């Protein structure tokens, strides 16, 4: 059998792939990469930057590509078989990574180059690569005794299995729940297109009536508009109880084991906690600095959040006699209050945001800022018929990137939105090899009568993920491990979050926000209302984000994780300073907090707010000079988007902005402090 993953390919050969190709391909490519590494360690030549550091950087290229294809499929197009393969593949990759990072002969050569770095004439990018490689070894146990190296291997193998299992359980719980309704009165308040989508879901499942699921495009409209409080409660509790029920998908034990093993690993490597280990390689540097950052924001935000909550509770009481506002009331009454205050209904906005037009809009923004042209092509292999494929070129017609976009929910696709890469950018042998970038979202599907119409929140999500995509597409570095989004995690959200700002600007909305039936441009009074309402309940929203960041830090700075008996009790204590709503005993966030227990955000959730400070400050600069100002855009492209992780991010930011970011820019934009 010819395995397409072992052939040379440019774009990923999705149509030729079968599940049985993955395991043998990954096993063979691990062996090939080991041979490449053996060549480096067995040479009799004295270690140099070229024959050791650069040579190591160029190993395992095909392995990296195949694993990126596999793990994206495991997120975007999974099934039981792929999940089983993932359980086999993850420990193999974890073991291989450990073989590499605990390879004494290899570390010795890298260390020799590192120790003589002052005498070498290296570019800033080469210096960064050398430092990153050396730290990669030292931070992953290269200086440990044999016995401790063995312990580290065991921990890493176990962690790779546990984090996978965590994610599988969350997906299983999301897919297992459905609220089947047969009485149309239960849908009172729900907009027509949400009802239509629920009817379509029911029909796909072979049922009469309507089906509401825990997928965001189904869940959010119901929580926001359905007037039946009991059904909102049922849905909210189901959402909050994911992987916290007494069934085979319970994640409590997984959470405790992951936290415990991360702590043991950090201690083994000489760090006080997992957070201390992680933050050494972040802009924030220490847990103390993160706590100080979060607490400073909390102090400024909490009074505003409390005032908003009290106002919302009083509003719910006046409207429906509700004495105690619960979590399942929040979105519903907030939407009513928002409509009353701004006369702005998300449902009235949606006809102006059909998905094809929003895609065209984000492309136009990228063209105006960075001179990019987008052409949909149908000859590129894809992993699902829903996926759209594009070639992106510059003003001279040179290829910038291949781009994949996957927009709609389906079984086998995890919730949320993310950006990934199927091929990294690098410069090798004088050739600039361009990247293949993908974004994955979960937007409402088109129905038989209507195109996919986005909520304004979904519009900002698309701009957000496209901001990440631009970071990948416009990469222009020599080494793949420093390219694109390979930057500190509290810097990676800057390109994505800054692009969201354009959604609120009249100049942007005029480009694409047109009614899908009449072609009428979005009325400017609606644009004004979008801007005015952008800071609605910003205090509560910010408090919510801070609570997630603080919970994450609580889990990962705890110095006695083995003493934690109850996930729920620990979480409640972590939320104490940020809690507005009464607790719901049958729900627990940690058991489905995929960002920190499956994604890469452990001890890093604070970075969303950290990057918001950067993005508010950066956009203030654009606003001063004009949001499509070519000079500012070129500086942002040159010093942020194209540079990847080649330099310290604060240095790059100062090169772009001319100064360090001012935290007040965020609070001003959020309407939480007065503009002076």
Catalytic residues: 465
DSSP letter for 312, please: H
Residue in 459, 455, 440 with CA at minimum distance from that of residue 362:
459
For 546, the enclosing helix (H) or strand (E) is helix 538-557
Q: Look at the alpha carbons of 94, 242, 612, 607 in this order and tell me if their dihedral is positive or negative.
A: negative
Per-residue buried b or exposed e for 16-30, using 16+ beta carbons within 10 Å of the residue's own CB: ebeeebbbebbebbb
Separation between Cα atoms, residue 305 and residue 537, nearest integer Å? 7
What are the DSSP calls for 120-155, one per residue? Answer: S---HHHHHHHHHHHHHHHTTTTTS-HHHHHHHHHH
Contacts of 266 (CB under 8 A, 6+ apart): 272, 273, 274, 276, 277
Coil, strand, or helix at residue 80?
helix
For 431, the enclosing helix (H) or strand (E) is strand 431-433
Separation between Cα atoms, residue 72 and residue 70, nearest integer Å? 6
Q: Work out the burial of residue 289: count CB atoms within 10 Å of its CB; fewer than 13 is exposed, 13-18 middle, 19 or more buried.
A: middle
CA angle 376, 394, 400 (to 5 degrees): 70
Residue in 303, 352, 314 with CA at minimum distance from that of residue 336:
314
How, if at all, do strands 418-423 and 436-440 pair?
Answer: antiparallel
Residue in 561, 531, 553 with CA at minimum distance from that of residue 604:
553
Residue with tokens 């700002």: 501
Coil, strand, or helix at residue 378?
coil
For 618, the enclosing helix (H) or strand (E) is helix 607-625
Q: Work out the burial of residue 35: count CB atoms within 10 Å of its CB; fewer than 13 is exposed, 13-18 middle, 19 or more buried.
A: exposed
CA angle 634, 638, 643 (to 5 degrees): 155
Here the tokens at position 580 are 């507005």
Residue in 569, 593, 578, 495 with CA at minimum distance from that of residue 544:
578
Residue with tokens 């065209």: 360
For 388, the enclosing helix (H) or strand (E) is strand 388-393
Here the tokens at position 158 are 């176990």
Q: Where are the alpha helices (DSSP H) in 241-343?
A: 252-268, 274-279, 287-320, 327-342
E strands along 165-250, which residues?
179-181, 210-212
What are the DSSP calls for 26-76, one per residue? Answer: HHHHHHHHHHHHHHHHT--SPP-IIIIIIHHHTSSHHHHHHHHHHHHHHHH
Per-residue buried b or exposed e for 190-226, using 16+ beta carbons within 10 Å of the residue's own CB: bbebbbbbbbbbbeeeeeeebbbbbbbbbbbbbbbbb
């Amino acid at each position: 059998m010819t395995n397409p993953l072992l052939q040379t390919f440019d774009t990923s050969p999705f149509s030729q792939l079968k599940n049985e190709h993955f395991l043998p391909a990954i096993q063979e490519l691990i062996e090939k990469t080991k041979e490449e590494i053996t060549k480096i360690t067995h040479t009799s030549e004295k270690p140099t930057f070229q024959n050791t550091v650069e040579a190591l950087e160029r190993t395992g290229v095909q392995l990296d590509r195949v694993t990126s294809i596999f793990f994206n499929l495991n997120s975007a197009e999974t099934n039981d078989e792929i999940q089983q393969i993932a359980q086999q593949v993850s420990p193999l990759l974890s073991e291989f990574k450990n073989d590499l990072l605990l390879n004494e002969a290899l570390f010795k050569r890298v260390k020799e180059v590192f120790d003589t770095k002052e005498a070498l004439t290296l570019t800033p990018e080469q210096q960064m690569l050398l430092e990153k490689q050396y730290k990669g070894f030292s931070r992953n146990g290269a200086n440990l005794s044999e016995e401790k190296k063995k312990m580290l291997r065991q921990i890493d193998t176990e962690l790779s299995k546990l984090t996978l299992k965590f994610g599988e359980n969350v997906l299983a719980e999301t897919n297992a729940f459905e609220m089947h309704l047969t009485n149309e009165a239960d849908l009172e308040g729900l907009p027509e297109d949400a009802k239509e989508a629920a009817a379509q879901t029911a029909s796909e499942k072979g049922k009469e009536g309507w089906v509401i699921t825990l997928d965001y495009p189904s869940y959010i409209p119901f929580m926001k508009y359905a007037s039946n409080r009991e059904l909102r409660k049922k849905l909210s509790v189901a959402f909050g109880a994911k992987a916290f029920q007494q069934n085979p998908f319970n994640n409590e034990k997984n959470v405790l084991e992951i936290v415990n093993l991360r702590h043991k690993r950090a201690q083994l490597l000489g760090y006080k906690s997992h957070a201390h280990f992680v933050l050494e390689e972040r802009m924030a540097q220490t847990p103390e600095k993160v706590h100080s950052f979060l607490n400073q924001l909390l102090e400024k935000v909490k009074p505003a959040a409390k005032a908003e909550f009290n106002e919302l509770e009083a509003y719910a009481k006046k409207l429906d006699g509700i004495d105690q506002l619960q979590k399942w009331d929040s979105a519903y009454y907030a939407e009513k209050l928002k409509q009353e205050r701004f006369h702005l209904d998300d449902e009235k906005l949606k006809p102006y945001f059909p998905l094809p037009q929003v895609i065209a809009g984000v492309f136009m923004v990228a063209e105006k800022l960075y001179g990019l042209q987008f052409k949909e092509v149908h000859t590129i292999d894809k992993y699902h018929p829903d996926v759209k494929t594009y070639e992106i070129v510059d003003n001279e017609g040179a290829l910038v990137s291949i781009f994949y976009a996957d927009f709609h929910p389906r079984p086998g696709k995890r919730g949320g939105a993310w950006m990934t890469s199927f091929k990294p950018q690098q410069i090798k042998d004088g050739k600039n090899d361009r990247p293949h970038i993908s974004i994955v979202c979960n937007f409402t599907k088109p129905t038989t009568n209507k195109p996919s119409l986005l909520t304004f929140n979904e519009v900002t999500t698309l701009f957000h993920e496209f901001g990440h995509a631009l970071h990948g597409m416009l990469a222009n570095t020599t080494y793949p491990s420093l390219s694109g989004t390979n930057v500190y995690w509290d810097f990676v959200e800057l390109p994505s979050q800054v692009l969201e700002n354009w959604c609120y600007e009249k100049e942007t909305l005029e480009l694409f926000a047109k009614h899908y039936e009449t072609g009428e441009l979005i009325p400017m009074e609606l644009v004004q209302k979008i801007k005015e309402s952008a800071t609605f309940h910003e205090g509560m929203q910010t408090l919510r984000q801070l609570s997630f960041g603080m919970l994450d830090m609580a889990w990962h700075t705890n110095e006695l994780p083995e003493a934690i008996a109850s996930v729920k009790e620990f979480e409640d204590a972590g939320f104490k300073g940020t809690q507005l709503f009464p607790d719901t005993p049958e729900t627990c966030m940690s058991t489905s907090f995929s960002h920190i227990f499956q994604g890469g955000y452990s001890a890093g959730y604070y970075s969303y707010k950290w990057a918001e400070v950067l993005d508010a400050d950066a956009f203030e600069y654009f606003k001063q000079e004009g949001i499509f100002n070519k000079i500012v855009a070129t500086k942002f492209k040159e010093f942020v988007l194209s540079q990847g992780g080649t330099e310290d991010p604060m240095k790059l930011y100062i090169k772009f902005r001319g100064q360090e970011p001012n935290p007040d820019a965020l609070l001003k934009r959020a309407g939480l402090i007065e503009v002076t």
